């Protein structure tokens, strides 16, 4: 592998959800350790599954990987990081200030902005504080899906620029109280990220047009922050030997070849590695060692029959959804499981029934327009996307028009500077999210959500807003917050989208438990891209299909409603193909 030829101190793996970043990061860490290096493996994904890969609990403290001498791991837990961050600020004044004031400070430090800053502090510390990584030859970062990671990689520069203004008078003043003393750490992180002799940024993709376009956009956005990708890895390539006599495998290979032939030109000059599709899921040391070995890509002939399983279609779920006449439908799950496809297919099916539908995404890297294509045949279908840049611009204009209307020039200047805080993005995005939630009172709103960790931060913002409203409303006052809408099963239907694989099912199960603790009951599960339901004859795909049954059984044990979508020969892009997904 070219990216392993001369490994730098820091190695980042980023890309669209579901492309195999965790597998490649874990295999890289194992490779480096077995080459005699001492390695720290860090996950910045709020929904990390590094622990599952190595079969042990990792968590928010540096933990030795028991099966690999010389490898330690850390999963940055946003909630635990936020709790520790709050305590560092509140602890010194607890007992010195009145309880009411302590409660007010705690509430100001309970939002998603604080959660992001806390995680960000841990991330930048690893880049810029030598004492934290003393003794490690390499630090390997398994990052969150692209949109979240772009924000994380750009934040050191954003916060450095904001602090350089010298005012520090921000709307998120509570979180900012711990930032000023971190100025030198942020500056060091900026320097490390931009230095190619210190940091390698590896863009990971599948041989799919949307995935390759995603890493091209990532390269362009990070270039604005003076961060240049060092390598591209295309993962999960269909081996030619696996396509013999199987139309599904042939179709997959043909669309992979077409996607590679149309590779964005901005990626041409970046060194590239190809990794073949493996028969086993990447869990455990044996599987990880095989990932970079092309000899392990094809199985010998496998005569084991694929177990037959009932395959309830998505169409049956859409019939039940349509009966309500309106409401909020949210597709949630791990990155790369096909939430955009499922959300778009549901929206098309509802529009085919003559219902008014608004299809939207909260994913910073979401691109519904390219997924849906020409929608002239569906005049009742509208599309939107919560674009963080547009959301911030709209929010700043709104605040300056309202809150700043009666201020003098100095006051408006101070308010405008306050709104330059990176925390403003969280507030602005939540404002647009709330508007979409309320829109479902009159029509169907189908929401393709960001990957799990980013969505949980949005839910956390809904909880913080609800608590703030409840605290300030007079007794007996009637009100409805976005969280209350999400908790109403007649108003909101949440579909957990997954693949028939161990890690996506486990992550969706954890998400289901998190939602239930917030008083939100998921309505249905959808298993996407099932090889069991596709009836392939390829030995490689049949072997992978045989591994699906345990995951399908685990979902059936949890789900009140279930739909299974087979792996399709044609990629479900455009309204005609999307309409077939639900059939």
pLDDT of 295 higher than 70: no
Cα 555 vs. chain centroid, distance in angstroms?
Answer: 21
Of the listed 15, 20, 333, 335, which one is catalytic?
20
What is the predicted pLDDT for the residue at 319? 94
Of the listed 8, 14, 45, 110, which one is catalytic?
45
Annotated catalytic residue 160: no
Q: Does 393 lie in the same domain as 381?
A: no
pLDDT, one tens digit per residue, over 326-339 is 999 999 987 778 89
Residue 411 domain boundaries: 389-442
Residue 308 lies in a domain: no
Element (H, E) at 530: strand 524-530
pLDDT, one tens digit per residue, over 433-490 is 888 889 999 999 999 887 555 555 566 666 665 565 566 556 666 667 777 888 999 9
Annotated catalytic residue 21: yes
Instruction: List all residues 6 or more positions away from 223 whose beta carbon is below 8 Å from its beta carbon.
Output: none
Q: Which residue has the higher pLDDT, 335 or 72?
A: 72
Instruction: List all residues 6 or more positions away from 367 whose beta carbon is below 8 Å from its beta carbon.
Output: 210, 213, 340, 385
Rounded average pLDDT over 229-236? 94
Residue 398 lies in a domain: yes
DSSP characters over 240-302? GGG-TT-HHHHHHHHHHHHHHHT--GGGTTS-EEEEEPPSS-S-SHHHHHHTT-GGGSSPPP-
What is the predicted pLDDT for the residue at 524? 97
Q: Does 119 lie in the same domain as 84?
A: yes
Q: Does 271 lie in the same domain as 167?
A: yes
Q: Does 426 lie in the same domain as 504?
A: no
Q: Does 249 lie in the same domain as 198?
A: yes
Annotated catalytic residue 45: yes
- Which of 418, 442, 466 is the C-terminal boundary of a domain? 442
> CA-CA distance, 379 to 376, in Å (whole number)?
6
Q: Does 484 lie in the same domain as 360?
A: yes
pLDDT of 47 higher than 90: no
Q: Does 148 lie in the same domain as 278?
A: yes
Of the listed 143, 503, 530, 551, which one is catalytic?
503
Q: Does 81 lie in the same domain as 180?
A: yes
CATH code, 175: 3.40.50.300
Of the listed 15, 17, 18, 335, which one is catalytic?
18
What is the predicted pLDDT for the residue at 89? 74
Instruction: List all residues 6 or more positions away from 130 whose beta carbon is below 8 Å from its beta carbon.
Output: none
Q: Does 575 lie in the same domain as 535?
A: yes
What is the predicted pLDDT for the residue at 166? 52
Of the listed 8, 22, 424, 538, which one is catalytic?
22
Question: Closest Cα partner for 344 from 314, 364, 365, 319?
Answer: 314
pTM of the model: 0.74
Domain total for the chain? Answer: 3
What is the predicted pLDDT for the residue at 429? 76
Residue 486 lies in a domain: yes
Lookup result for tokens 């108003």: 491
- Which of 265, 296, 327 is the C-terminal boundary of a domain? 296
Residue 36 lies in a domain: yes
> CA-CA distance, 485 to 437, in Å (whole number)?
7
> CA-CA distance, 326 to 443, in Å (whole number)?
5
Annotated catalytic residue 23: yes
Q: Mean pLDDT over all residues of the chain? A: 81
pLDDT of 163 higher than 70: no
From 32-36, 153-157, 552-556, the region with the lowest mean pLDDT? 153-157
Of the listed 16, 21, 154, 334, which one is catalytic?
21
The DSSP secondary-structure symbol of 357 reads E
pLDDT of 2 higher than 50: yes
Q: Does 429 lie in the same domain as 511?
A: no
> CA-CA distance, 381 to 359, in Å (whole number)?
7
């Amino acid at each position: 592998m070219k990216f392993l030829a001369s490994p730098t101190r820091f190695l980042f793996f980023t890309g669209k959800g579901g492309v195999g970043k965790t597998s490649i990061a874990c295999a890289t860490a194992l490779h480096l350790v077995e080459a005699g290096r001492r390695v720290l493996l860090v996950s910045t994904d709020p929904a990390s599954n590094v622990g599952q890969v190595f079969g042990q609990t990792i968590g928010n403290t540096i933990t030795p990987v028991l099966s690999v001498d010389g490898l330690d791991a850390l999963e940055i837990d946003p909630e635990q990081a936020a709790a520790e961050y709050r305590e560092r600020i509140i602890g010194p004044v607890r007992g010195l200030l009145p309880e009411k004031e302590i409660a007010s400070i705690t509430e100001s430090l309970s939002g998603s902005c604080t959660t992001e800053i806390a995680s960000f502090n841990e991330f930048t510390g690893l880049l810029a504080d030598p004492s934290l990584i003393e003794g490690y030859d390499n630090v390997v970062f398994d990052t969150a899906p692209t949109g979240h990671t772009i924000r994380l990689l750009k934040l050191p520069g954003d916060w450095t620029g904001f602090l350089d203004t010298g005012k520090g008078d921000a709307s998120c003043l509570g979180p900012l109280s711990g930032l000023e003393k971190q100025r030198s750490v942020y500056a060091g992180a900026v320097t490390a990220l931009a230095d190619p002799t210190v940091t390698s940024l590896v863009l990971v993709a599948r041989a799919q047009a949307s995935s390759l376009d995603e890493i091209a956009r990532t390269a362009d956005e990070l270039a604005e922050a003076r961060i240049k990708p060092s390598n591209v890895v295309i993962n999960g390539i269909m081996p030619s030997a696996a396509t013999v006599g199987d139309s599904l495998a042939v179709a997959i290979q043909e669309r992979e070849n077409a996607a590679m032939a149309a590779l964005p030109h901005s990626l041409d000059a970046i060194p590239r590695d190809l990794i073949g599709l493996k028969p086993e899921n990447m869990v455990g040391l044996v599987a990880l060692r095989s990932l970079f070995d092309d000899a392990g890509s094809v199985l010998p002939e496998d005569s084991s029959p694929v177990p037959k399983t009932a395959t309830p279609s998505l169409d049956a779920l859409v019939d039940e959804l349509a009966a309500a006449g309106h409401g909020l439908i949210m597709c949630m799950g791990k990155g790369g499981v096909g939430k955009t496809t499922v959300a778009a297919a549901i929206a098309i099916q509802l529009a085919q029934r003559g219902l008014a539908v608004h299809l939207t995404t909260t994913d910073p890297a979401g691109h519904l327009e390219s997924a849906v294509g020409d929608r002239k045949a569906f005049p009742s279908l509208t599309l939107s996307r919560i674009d963080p840049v547009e959301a911030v611009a709209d929010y700043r204009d709104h605040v300056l028009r309202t809150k700043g209307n009666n201020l003098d020039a100095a006051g408006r200047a101070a308010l405008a500077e306050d709104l330059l805080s990176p925390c403003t993005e969280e507030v602005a995005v939540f404002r647009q999210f709330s508007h979409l939630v309320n829109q479902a009172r009159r029509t169907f709103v189908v929401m393709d959500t960001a990957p799990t960790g980013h969505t949980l931060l949005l839910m956390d913002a809904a909880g913080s807003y609800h608590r703030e409203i409840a605290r300030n409303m007079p007794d007996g006052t009637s009100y409805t917050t976005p969280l209350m809408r999400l908790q109403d099963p007649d108003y909101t239907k949440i579909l957990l989208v997954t693949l028939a694989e161990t890690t996506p099912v486990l992550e969706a199960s954890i998400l289901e438990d998190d939602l239930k603790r917030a008083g939100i009951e998921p309505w249905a599960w959808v298993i996407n891209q099932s090889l069991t339901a596709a009836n392939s004859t390829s030995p490689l795909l049949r072997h992978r299909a045989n591994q699906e049954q345990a995951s399908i059984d685990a979902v059936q044990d949890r789900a009140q409603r279930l739909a299974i979508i087979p792996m399709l020969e044609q990629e479900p892009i455009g309204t005609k193909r999307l309409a077939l997904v639900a059939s």
